[in-house]
């Protein structure tokens, strides 16, 4: 859905405690999570505001977000 939140706590509610712990204890996880959140916010803004962008641009941003989510999920499951 357009404008839907994809923050990690929404995506992985069962890992909420681990997300909070890693965010406070692991600087690399916190940095990646900040990057993920900023990218998610940018995508939501584009979708919600109807900002004209090329289809390839929004798809590239979504692929970047998915890659970051995969990396963060791997860290959560480690």
How many CA atoms lie less than 13 Å away from 37 in the CB half-sphere? 11
Tell me how many helices (H) and strands (E) the chain has.
Answer: 4, 0
Of 76, 66, 63, nearest to 29 by C-alpha is: 76
d(CA 23, CA 54): 34
Of 35, 36, 39, nearest to 61 by C-alpha is: 39
Q: Can you give the pLDDT at residue 5?
A: 72
pLDDT one-digit tens code per residue, 16-71: 999 999 999 999 999 999 999 999 999 999 988 888 889 899 999 999 999 999 99
Q: Is pLDDT above 60 for 3?
A: no
**Rounded to two decimals, what is the model's pTM?**
0.87
């Amino acid at each position: 859905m357009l404008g839907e939140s994809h923050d990690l706590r929404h995506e992985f509610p069962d890992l909420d405690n681990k997300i909070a712990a890693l965010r406070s204890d692991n600087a690399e996880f916190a940095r990646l999570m900040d990057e993920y959140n900023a990218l998610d916010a940018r995508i939501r803004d584009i979708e919600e505001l109807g900002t004209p962008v090329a289809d390839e641009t929004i798809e590239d941003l979504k692929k970047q977000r998915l890659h970051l989510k995969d990396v963060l999920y791997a860290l959560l499951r480690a």
